[in-house]
Chains A and B, each alone.
Chain A
Amino acid sequence: MNAMMEQPLTFLGHATPAGVFRARAQEWAAMPALRHKRRGLWQSLSWAEYYAQARALGLALADLGVRRGEVVAVLAENRPEWVIADIGAQAMGIVGNGIYPTASPEQMRYILQDSETRVLIVENQEQLEKALAVRAECPALVKIVVIEPEGLRKLADPDVLFWTDLLDRGMALAQTRAAEFEAAIDAGRSADLAFLVYTSGTTGAPKGAMISNANTIFQMQKATEYLDAKPGDKSLSFLPLCHIAERMASVFNPLALGLIVHFPENAGTVQNDLREVAPHVVFAPPRFWEKMHSAVELFLRDATAPARWTYGTALKRGRAGVEARLAGTTPPRPGLVDALLNRLAFRNIKVFLGLQNCRSALTGAAPVPPDLIRWFLAIGIELREAFGMTETAGFAASTPSGAIRLGWAGIAAKGTEIRIAEEGEIQIRGPNVFAGYGRQADKTAETILPGGWLRTGDCGEVSPDGYLAIRDRIKDIIITAGGKNITPTQIESQLKFSPFITDAVVIGEGRRYLTALVMIDLEHVSRFAQEQAIPYTDFASLTRAEGVVQLIRAEIEAVNPRLARVEQIKDFRIIDQLLTAEDEELTPTMKLKRKVIAQKYARLIDGMYPS
């Protein structure tokens, strides 16, 4: 540790991401850095332009009176302005922060107050309305910047300005005061705060995790180890930038690797944009990969008989090879038939999914069903698991290429240590451990132990050769009336592998047996209902339809034999309301919040345990 303090971590000789940014902008000046689809056309921004705009924004923010160490927040969907603002602010020593576009005004107010945000950058009129609704309660907030001026022609508010005006002002400042920006980059220190990430908060109020420059630089070093990418390779930025994984993937990994970051037109066009971009690097939670898998399965159900035969045969032969590889034996040499089947079936599937160029496919943030990895391996995509959290500034462990072990999340990043402490808790020490929660010293002290060990709150185990397995969140572990310890997340992940189940919460604390509350996938279930001629009108009637209940029961019963007796789901209920990210039942990443669900649906739950 001491040696580290004296010799700060560097990347290309720079101790801050802003320093790397400047070096890269010179090195790759004319190469594309960001691409954004607008009105159906991809628009490019080169590294030199990216740097010029970030500089303009940084100078303009300083001109508005934002000082080193103060916070600027962005509330927008993924788009170039988001990352320009983030890195531009950081270069000036201003701390970047992101707010989920789905945040309610109430959540916004909390984050703005908690972080004492000085300038808030919002996407459009709609988000501005939210900001204005809470502005009076956020005394630190001096200015609101709006990216899209549509519908705001009549707006006359001295404290609201437009992105283009701010950028123009910054460009003008850069004519005379560019040196200030350069000096600010040089003044950045390894231990300084780079940005904030508010934890989504499945329990309690969100906390602002502080990520330092050193954390970020360390993760950039690691990116070159776990990602196989070279300058000019492509990535698509479609997960929320407020989340640590996407923040790293779209702002910092590109600095390390030279990825061209593509921003989709909107959330609804992601599948299509993925096909167009055909990225080389894809990180997404298991749910996303599951959707790809079910899209192919459902698509093939309607395909012609020869297509189905080709797919079925290719998959069967592919799977045999996968099992051999996973078992550590040499798979049988692919013959001419395999090559042909591969070409016919899997090549097309990969093109259909936009994965034909993908060399680094990673998943994490939730348990990964082994069958999912098997399927992707069979079609020729090495879907590797990784483990990380906001508090480790991204990945803390990842599966090395060519060394997938089902059920294990990979090995610790080099330069970090992982240990198993009391209650089986996974603890991590190393330069990826974050700097603490802003203004919550008590919470920080609970999380980072003396000696620098981070309590992850997850329990798991480490194999003799260093592979890490995640079992569950410790606080989520269920102790049944029979005294058995159950890890619900593992069971839930198996249930979620069904295309008809979006999410599930396993219940059973202090009960005689386990049950589940299930959130159905509206698209797939309504399609099923239509195919089976099951009448329904609104969402509630769909969840009550006998055929749908039977469908979900069959999906659960298909999972049960793979579970130990005490882990089997004896009964279930379907949540009869269509939930959105704005509902308190869901996190911004659309996961069910266990505690809220248990409270809100107490009646449904009690109904599954007749006395």
Chain B
Amino acid sequence: MLLDVQNLETWYGPIAAMKGVNLTVAEGRIVAVLGANGAGKTTLLNTLAGVIDPFKGKALFQGAEVQGLDADEVARRGLVLVPEGRQIYPFLTVRDNLMMGAYARRDRDAVARDLEKVQSWFPRLKERDAQHAGLLSGGEQQMVAIGRAYLSAPKLLMLDEPSLGLSPRLVQEIFGIIRRIRDETGTAVLVVEQNAAVALKHGDDGYIMELGRIVAADTCAALSRKEDVREAYLGGREAEGLSGTAQRWKRRRTWR
């Protein structure tokens, strides 16, 4: 198992944001974590990336514990985060932004090859090589963020809401490239998403988080068939209710 998260628990002061999360990512898999606002998805990624220290639990990456390590050490080991909202450097050029990802690498030839790969996945970034990254569109900025992460030679790429603020077409494009990265390089991907439809379509394994806990785990294909998932995340109710919403009457979700 590439990543094995066991009973990971994170608190923000008196508030438990993550109340014990268990999850695994196998080599070469795309794993999607779905959930509503405040479910603890971003906390999960931030905890794994070393941005926050967990209160309890373990995260084994390639068999070694990484929870509580500093963010740079975690990244050096190949567990790389593409943060929510992209967080690129607006006043650096596109190329400099990308090269920031390779900051810790000494293997120049390999870096050059990886840069070429990124540019082949995102031809538009090559066109705008010398532009300030702040002048790029949202979709292009997301590409920079992903490319930058790839240049730090990740073994597991963690993406926090890559679809945020992007047009439906761009979302498909970004996910298409995420798959291509995995197919071409074997990099495993852990992606956190609110856009359940697209995440379930492109992911291999899926987890659903609610209020800091995993409530359902299965392959993405099997999850998409669960009635509760269809209803809560995919808008699967055919009949439309009086209030104009798809939901008619609530049942407690059991994730069967």
Contacts and interface: CB of A to CB of B under 8 A. Distances in A.
Nearest to A128: B242
A417 B32 CA distance: 65
A351 interface: no
B21 to A, nearest CB: 9
Contact of A126 (B20, B207, B214, B250): B250
Interface in A138-182: 150-152, 154-155
B4 to A, nearest CB: 9
Contacts, number: 71
Interface in B201-230: 207, 213-218
B249 A130 contact: yes
Interface residues of A, number: 28
Contacts of A129: 241-242, 248-249
B22 A577 contact: no
A187 interface: no
Given A126-B249, A530-B19, A534-B7, A151 B256 contact: no
B22 A536 contact: yes
Given A530-B56, A582-B252, A537 B23 contact: yes
Interface string A561-587: 000000000000000011110100000
Contacts of A155: 242
B98 to A, nearest CB: 36
Contacts of A582: 251-252
A123 to B, nearest CB: 11
Given A529-B20, A530-B20, A537 B217 contact: yes
Interface in B225-256: 241-245, 248-252, 254-256
A127 B215 contact: no
A589 interface: no
B238 to A, nearest CB: 14
Given A152-B242, A537-B207, A127 B249 contact: yes
B233 to A, nearest CB: 15
B120 to A, nearest CB: 37
A578 B254 contact: yes
A337 interface: no
Contacts of A526: 19-20, 213
Among B9, B20, B207, B241, chain A packs the most CB atoms within 10 A around the CB of B20
Q: How many B residues are at the interface, by size bracket?
A: 20 to 34
Contact of A538 (B7, B9, B242, B255): B255
Interface string A522-540: 0000100110011111110
Contacts of A539: 215, 254-255
Q: Most chain-A CB neighbours within 10 Å: which of B6, B214, B243? A: B243
B57 interface: yes
Given A152-B243, A536-B22, A541 B255 contact: no
Contacts of A152: 242-243
Nearest to B22: A535
Contacts of B242: 125, 128-129, 132, 151-152, 154-155
Contacts of A128: 242
A530 B214 contact: no
Interface string B11-28: 000000001101100000
B252 A580 contact: yes
Contacts of B23: 537
Given A530-B9, A536-B22, A580-B254, A541 B244 contact: no
Nearest to A129: B248
A132 B239 CA distance: 13
The 3 A-B pairs of least Cβ separation, nearest first, read: A151-B243, A530-B20, A537-B217
14 contacts: A125-B242, A127-B249, A129-B241, A151-B243, A151-B245, A152-B243, A526-B20, A529-B20, A530-B19, A535-B6, A535-B7, A539-B254, A539-B255, A577-B256
Interface of B: 6-7, 9, 19-20, 22-23, 56-58, 207, 213-218, 241-245, 248-252, 254-256
Given A526-B19, A533-B56, A534-B7, 15 more contacts: A129-B241, A130-B249, A132-B242, A150-B243, A154-B244, A529-B7, A529-B20, A530-B20, A533-B6, A533-B7, A538-B216, A538-B255, A577-B256, A578-B255, A580-B254
Interface of A: 125-130, 132, 150-152, 154-155, 526, 529-530, 533-539, 541, 577-580, 582
